Structure 1
Amino acid sequence: MLANLDFRPQHFDERDTTNALSNAMGAAWLRCFSRGWRRLRCLSLVLLLVLSVYMYLWLTVKRRSQNQDYGGTDSMYANEVINSLLRNQTFSRDQVCNHPYLDPFEPSIMKFYRDVGSLRCSEDGNWIKVNNGTFWIDKEARLRHGKISCQYAPIYRKDEDHFRVGDKKSFDNEVISAPADVIQVSCQSGLFGAKYSNVHTTVAYNREVHERVNKASYDQLYMPLNVLMFGFDSVSRNTWLRTLPKTHKYFTEHLKGIVLKGYNIVGDGTPQALLPILTGQTEIELPEARRGKPDAKVVDGHPWIWNDFKKSGYMTQWGEDMCWIGTFNLRMLGFDKQPVDHFWRPYCQASEGLHKYNKPFCLGSERRHKVMMEWVKDGFQMYQNRLKFIFAFHSEYSHEDSSTLSWADDDLLGMLKYLEENNYLNNTMLILMSDHGARFHAVRESMQGKYEERMPYFSFRFPTWFQKKYPSEFKAFKNNANRLTTPFDIHETFRDMMKFENKPSENEKLPRGMSLFKPIPKHRSCTDADISPHWCACLGWNIVSATDPITKKAAASIVDFMNSLTEKFRSKCHSLSLKLIKSAMVMQSNPYIARFLGSADVDGRVPKESKGAVDKSALYQITLQTTPGDGVFETTVKHFASVDKFVISEREISRINKYGSAANCVYNDAPHLRQYCYCK
């Protein structure tokens, strides 16, 4: 069965087969009527051919219906599904990692996406306009409502979970300099007219920050460029093409942006994607910060890359929406002190109470995602001639439903055009990105969805002059776009911007993180990049039967392992039992990797291969459902056949359906166990 997975380019297509049979029938029919003395025999053959075609189509439909969940005992069609993932993909001998080609518009995938139309907010435009650290009453609001009088109050960060409101002041006709990045405004027209209440944000003038950045000298920086990183949660490279087509076209064709086609995640969830980018380390390697853990501390002490940029004279700006499940707040203790110069979290907290009074995803007449984009634009305006590190991450649309991400396409395109037309991109490294593909959406349970989760969208765009000033770095970057890359590499790329070190490695082993401004070798593997097999999209998998004895033993071991994690909380959490094995796969290595031993000649042109390289262990990826609670988990487990032992790591267990409030009983004591706990 393993031999069924062919890593060569696949050309099988049922439409091609049907067309060939149709052509054959037509040719046979013409021959019949061109030879009068054999018409009866020819007609018989044509009828037999027609019957064969119908039998072929009937068997195909039946086979698909039996295997639509990829969990049936007949694995032939499932292997064809995997082969279809690799169709048009050529595995080269000189590049170890080859990500599969996945058609973004494959019909079986497009059924998970729908047209959501446009997002329409309140027709009564917001009464307050905000821009570049100032705000005022909109002229259009005055025309609609007559005389308007307002009060405003600044909102400040108190701590990670609270904000405080300052003293109120009145205003009517003047343009006001915002006393803080967040302001609360209430207005009324006349004595008994319409009322307006909202929370607004901008990048307010901060004298301390301006004095610091104005004193900075950028002479020591290797690449004195702004960094703008704008991302969406849970967006694979293909989902970006499906839902943000206008932005992608403008970014790649007009701005000449470069998409990393070999970008691979290194862990499960947003923290495992952003921590390596922002700190260069994994959560396990960093000081303990998880809620409920002994000696856990806030994350202030982590080696954040924005602190390095700040020391180099940059203004720093970071924000994410959905602050109630913040990347560094849901499971972790968050920050004690404000981590950057301009922080989105106080606005997120102050405005979320207004969501229930507005249309979904709106604040008054403004789409909430556009408010974040305007905040980014304000950062460029407020610090026009000084360097900036800005990272904005939006989750509301794509975290739950990939289809609604299309609402952001026009506004993201508009932001890029604004930055380009106002010359802000002439000194900016622009990054459009995501943390990972869909984790909880329905598409995640398809074979292609599994691969797409591991291959998020990540792209860079440099100023037009960059190639001439940094020719070798630009060439390396272009080549690296097709190599295996990871979040660790993004961190090293940032470090190279500040201080480029082109020293050869004294260690033959490749470093885990490699700057994209330096050549990444073709022989880099997932092992080199510290990507576990569970997340490595370079690997091929073959379907195995859910009734296979090893599969059943592996599934039982997984459930036992999860129960061991919640054992201390058995008074609160049910002991889980195996309800269903939804699918199971065994890893098939790239055959060139398995056979390649090195070069047989001094020039490295002739490969030396073994006749057979056998791994005495096997990796199984199993998707199973447990009871009670109907949790669905995807797990990679290693099986050592010689001792019939299974090895499981908590890092390689993914909960792929929602658990909602079912785990609230351990929310405070052990939030890291929520995916395994079904409360009694």
Structure 2
Amino acid sequence: MLLIVLSMYMATIKMITNRLIHSSTAIPEFLVDTEVCHIPNVDPFDSFINLLVRNKELIKCTGVRSMTFQQGERLRLNMDVINTTYNGNFSYCEYHGINRGNNTDDNKYQYTPHGTIFNKDIVVTEQFIRVKCYDKSHSVIYSNYHAFILPQPIRLQQLKTRFTKHKEENKPRETLNVLMIGVDSVSRLNHIRTMPKTRDYLLRHLNAIELQGYNKVADNTFVNIVPMTTGRFVEELPWNEQKSGEPFDQYNFIWKNFSSSGYSTLYAEDHPRIGCFNLQKSGFHVPPVDHYYRPFALAVEGDNSVWMSDHHCVGDRFETNMVLNYTTEFMKLYQRDPYFGFVFLTRLTHDSISNTASADIPYSNMFRDIHNQGLLNNTVLIFFSDHGIRLGQFRGSYMGNLEERLPMMFLAFPKWFYKKYPQISHNLKINRNRLTTPFDIYETLKDVLHFTGDLKGGRDVTQRGISLFEEIPVSRSCDHAGILPHWCTCMSQQELSTNDQFYNMSVNYLITYINQQFVLNNVTDICWPLKLGRTKSVHIIKYNDRLSKLVKRRTDVRRGMVSDNEERVYSEHIFQVAVSLTPGSGEFEASVRYDETTGNFTMAGDISRINKYGHDSDCVHGNFLRKLCYCR
């Protein structure tokens, strides 16, 4: 019976999807189809997907009904639950505030020493609270957590002063709020498969612009979020991964720009152990925004007694909904004041291609609610992901390889904005099918903050980040956009025969390179040297002729080998290598470059680890070494 229900659900998703993306009889072969970039338009419901992806039941929160619930700044008692569940044995409740305290440790939180006792509805004075309720013998019968968005009058006055200065100095033509909501590990194609209601609401009701050629620029969450929020690669900050104690306070993230211009700010993540700036990192020594969810998330995470449904529900509340409700309350409080919110949710979808279906209703409901309440009338909504699924059996397929590099990205502007600025609207629609990256999102956010409504036009194609208000040049390549060949989806692949001379040469170079990293990082005493288990595949990356000449000429001009008006014969080849190495059976994928002129191999980007490594590399620190090392 369950299989029948799941089959019907998938059939319904496909029907809605076809209505949205195949409204015409002609289905384009490419999402991006320019002379230098061809990103294939793959069927998200290809029969191949059914062989690798198991459908799961939607997650339901079936815990005991909450005795307390929020309404604005009030914490209310659910008398129906109290009367029916506790049969007159309820006595009182007490809440304690949760805060970071005065410490600089982003992994610490504390409870206020004195609690507030209540036995009726109460206005809270703490933004984050833990509630315990007691029976008449003073035994705990209920525990829960609540996050509030409370007014900050003194801070708001400071921000209003900044905002006045911002308007006087920069004279923005429009003041638009920004709400960014990210969902971990959701490719564009998996969003189509598993979140049809959310997709339908974004496209049909919010007139969202979907960037179908949105290509990630690095491996995992952190290294894609940094370009989106700073306009730089991590290496350019410069943040040193090996200095595990170095915080991120000194770097100019985009929310700092908005805050200095008078915008109230919010930052919220759900899974504190793998937070974007906290996994193997030190986070922020000072809260980076006005409303920082992390102390609350840490407190809830540490209380195993409240978690249900495989750690996705706090009692009868879906954790995803808790974060989204917190965000909605932020929008309500500041609907008459400028604000910037950054939300990133991880737990539900991280490393899970099937759980994403359980996210559909929470997000679609939130978008419907904030739209109906008028909270998007002056707000830019950016709904995005960092990358697709990076690990597991699906990732090892061609479809998984492509999906990992093409996360979902939607931007929804108020309807009046599209009408008032038709040229910007026109450019946004054109850019749906151009090659875009996190760097472009950063440039767009800067243009939102300092909005003039004027277009510069004739953007330099070599500029790494280009605001989406401008038309992305049709001649843009991965090289222009700062996308290394390993992550680039613009180019086709052709599998090499095992007899090809480059088949073993490229594999041997990769293994040598990995083992050299252990030497360079002084970990040879704790990491085993790796050897070839088996070669899964070697593909040559195929440039088209025009792009080949452009890439080579640009490279030679930079090196001073030729003048800007000369061309040389293209002499480089890119190979994408997939291998399993021992000990540990680690599966790796990497792109290597061979230069015919020198006869040398070099790396053409990062190395992808495509199977889970658990605790195999606990002896080393840093994302790069952890995905390579098999501890002795």
> TM-score when scaled to structure 1?
0.80
Which letter does structure 2 place at the counterpart of 1:208? I
**Structure 2 residue 593 is the aligned partner of structure 1 residue 638:** yes
For residue 493 of structure 1, the aligned residue among 444, 459, 482 is 444
Q: Deviations over 1:632-673 (max 9, x none)?
A: 111000012344321126x42111111111111114xx5541
1:241–1:94 CA distance, 2 compared to 1 (3 A): closer
Q: Deviations over 1:470-496 (max 9, x none)?
A: 222111111111111110000000101
Residue of structure 2 in register with 1:533 after alignment:
485
What is the DSSP-based 3-state SS (H/G/I as helix, E as strand, rest coil) of the residue aligned with 2:257? helix
For residue 65 of structure 2, the aligned residue among 107, 125, 144 is 125
What is the DSSP-based 3-state SS (H/G/I as helix, E as strand, rest coil) of the residue aligned with 1:579? strand
Residue of structure 1 in register with 2:19 after alignment:
none
8 Å CA contact 2:549–2:570 kept in 1: the answer is no
What is the DSSP-based 3-state SS (H/G/I as helix, E as strand, rest coil) of the residue aligned with 1:527? helix
Shift of 1:614: 5.5
1:519–1:233 CA distance, 2 compared to 1 (3 A): same
Residue of structure 1 in register with 2:218 after alignment:
267
The residue correspondences of 1:317-332 to structure 2 (distance < 5 A) are 317-332=266-281
1:433–1:93 CA distance, 2 compared to 1 (3 A): closer
**Structure 2 residue 324 is the aligned partner of structure 1 residue 373:** yes
1:577–1:374 CA distance, 2 compared to 1 (3 A): same
CA distance in 1, matches of 2:56, 2:284: 37
1:189–1:417 CA distance, 2 compared to 1 (3 A): farther
Shift of 1:297: 3.0
Shift of 1:590: 2.8
8 Å CA contact 1:105–1:242 kept in 2: the answer is yes
**Structure 2 residue 378 is the aligned partner of structure 1 residue 432:** no
CA distance in 2, matches of 1:115, 1:93: 33
8 Å CA contact 2:32–2:434 kept in 1: the answer is no
CA distance in 2, matches of 1:356, 1:545: 56
Shift of 1:292: 3.5
1:111–1:223 CA distance, 2 compared to 1 (3 A): farther
CA distance in 1, matches of 2:413, 2:387: 23
Residue of structure 1 in register with 2:152 after alignment:
206
CA distance in 2, matches of 1:478, 1:509: 19
Residue of structure 2 in register with 1:241 after alignment:
192
1:93–1:497 CA distance, 2 compared to 1 (3 A): closer
**Structure 2 residue 68 is the aligned partner of structure 1 residue 116:** no
Shift of 1:466: 0.7
Which letter does structure 2 place at the counterpart of 1:588? K
CA distance in 1, matches of 2:322, 2:227: 28
Shift of 1:436: 0.7
Which letter does structure 2 place at the counterpart of 1:636? S
Residue of structure 1 in register with 2:46 after alignment:
106
Shift of 1:94: 5.4
What is the DSSP-based 3-state SS (H/G/I as helix, E as strand, rest coil) of the residue aligned with 1:569? coil
Shift of 1:190: 3.1
Shift of 1:469: 1.9
For residue 249 of structure 2, the aligned residue among 300, 313, 316 is 300
Shift of 1:504: 5.0
Q: Deviations over 1:31-83 (max 9, x none)?
A: xxxxxxxxxxxxxxxxxxxxxxxxxxxxxxxxxxxxxxxxxxxxxxxxxxxxx
CA RMSD of aligned residues (A): 2.4
Residue of structure 1 in register with 2:131 after alignment:
185
Residue of structure 2 in register with 1:477 after alignment:
428
Which letter does structure 1 place at the counterpart of 2:142? Y
8 Å CA contact 1:291–1:333 kept in 2: the answer is no
**Structure 2 residue 117 is the aligned partner of structure 1 residue 171:** yes
Shift of 1:332: 2.9
CA distance in 2, matches of 1:236, 1:498: 28
CA distance in 1, matches of 2:226, 2:295: 22
Shift of 1:174: 4.0
Q: Deviations over 1:188-239 (max 9, x none)?
A: 2333676111222121232333223444337433431111111210111010
Residue of structure 1 in register with 2:620 after alignment:
666
The residue correspondences of 1:212-231 to structure 2 (distance < 5 A) are 212-215=158-161, 216-217=163-164, 219=167, 220-231=171-182
Which letter does structure 2 place at the counterpart of 1:575? P
1:383–1:174 CA distance, 2 compared to 1 (3 A): farther
1:130–1:91 CA distance, 2 compared to 1 (3 A): closer
**Structure 2 residue 419 is the aligned partner of structure 1 residue 459:** no
Query: Which sections of structure 2, spanning at least 5 residues, go unmatched?
Result: 1-26, 552-566
1:227–1:508 CA distance, 2 compared to 1 (3 A): closer
Shift of 1:116: 1.7
Shift of 1:548: 3.3
1:291–1:351 CA distance, 2 compared to 1 (3 A): farther
What is the DSSP-based 3-state SS (H/G/I as helix, E as strand, rest coil) of the residue aligned with 1:451? helix
CA distance in 2, matches of 1:521, 1:488: 15
The residue correspondences of 1:144-163 to structure 2 (distance < 5 A) are 144=84, 145=86, 146=88, 147-158=90-101, 159-163=105-109
Residue of structure 2 in register with 1:137 after alignment:
77
**Structure 2 residue 295 is the aligned partner of structure 1 residue 333:** no
Q: Which moved more, 1:261-270 or 1:152-161?
A: 152-161
Shift of 1:291: 4.0
Query: Which sections of structure 1, spanning at least 5 residues, go unmatched?
Result: 1-86, 598-611
1:90–1:122 CA distance, 2 compared to 1 (3 A): closer
Q: Deviations over 1:587-634 (max 9, x none)?
A: 11134545899xxxxxxxxxxxxxx99632210000111100111111
8 Å CA contact 2:549–2:569 kept in 1: the answer is no
Shift of 1:408: 1.5
8 Å CA contact 1:639–1:646 kept in 2: the answer is yes
What is the DSSP-based 3-state SS (H/G/I as helix, E as strand, rest coil) of the residue aligned with 2:590? strand
**Structure 2 residue 364 is the aligned partner of structure 1 residue 409:** no
1:376–1:357 CA distance, 2 compared to 1 (3 A): closer
What is the DSSP-based 3-state SS (H/G/I as helix, E as strand, rest coil) of the residue aligned with 1:396? coil
What is the DSSP-based 3-state SS (H/G/I as helix, E as strand, rest coil) of the residue aligned with 2:348? helix
| Number of residues of Structure 1 aligned to a counterpart in Structure 2 | 575
CA distance in 2, matches of 1:230, 1:313: 21
The residue correspondences of 1:577-596 to structure 2 (distance < 5 A) are 577-591=531-545, 593-594=547-548
1:410–1:151 CA distance, 2 compared to 1 (3 A): same
Q: Deviations over 1:4-39 (max 9, x none)?
A: xxxxxxxxxxxxxxxxxxxxxxxxxxxxxxxxxxxx
8 Å CA contact 2:214–2:406 kept in 1: the answer is yes
Q: Which moved more, 1:376-385 or 1:129-138?
A: 129-138
8 Å CA contact 1:137–1:172 kept in 2: the answer is no
Q: Deviations over 1:239-271 (max 9, x none)?
A: 001111111111111222110011111111111
CA distance in 1, matches of 2:456, 2:371: 37
CA distance in 2, matches of 1:132, 1:546: 66
Which letter does structure 2 place at the counterpart of 1:319? A
CA distance in 2, matches of 1:655, 1:436: 14
1:177–1:211 CA distance, 2 compared to 1 (3 A): farther
Q: Which moved more, 1:624-633 or 1:473-482?
A: 473-482
CA distance in 2, matches of 1:420, 1:341: 24
Identity of paired residues, percent?
33
Residue of structure 2 in register with 1:514 after alignment:
466
The residue correspondences of 1:338-357 to structure 2 (distance < 5 A) are 338-355=287-304, 357=306
1:436–1:508 CA distance, 2 compared to 1 (3 A): closer
8 Å CA contact 2:230–2:254 kept in 1: the answer is yes
1:92–1:388 CA distance, 2 compared to 1 (3 A): closer
8 Å CA contact 1:221–1:312 kept in 2: the answer is no
Shift of 1:135: 1.8
Residue of structure 1 in register with 2:607 after alignment:
653
1:560–1:595 CA distance, 2 compared to 1 (3 A): closer
What is the DSSP-based 3-state SS (H/G/I as helix, E as strand, rest coil) of the residue aligned with 2:463? coil
Shift of 1:573: 0.9
CA distance in 2, matches of 1:325, 1:90: 35
For residue 525 of structure 2, the aligned residue among 568, 571, 579 is 571
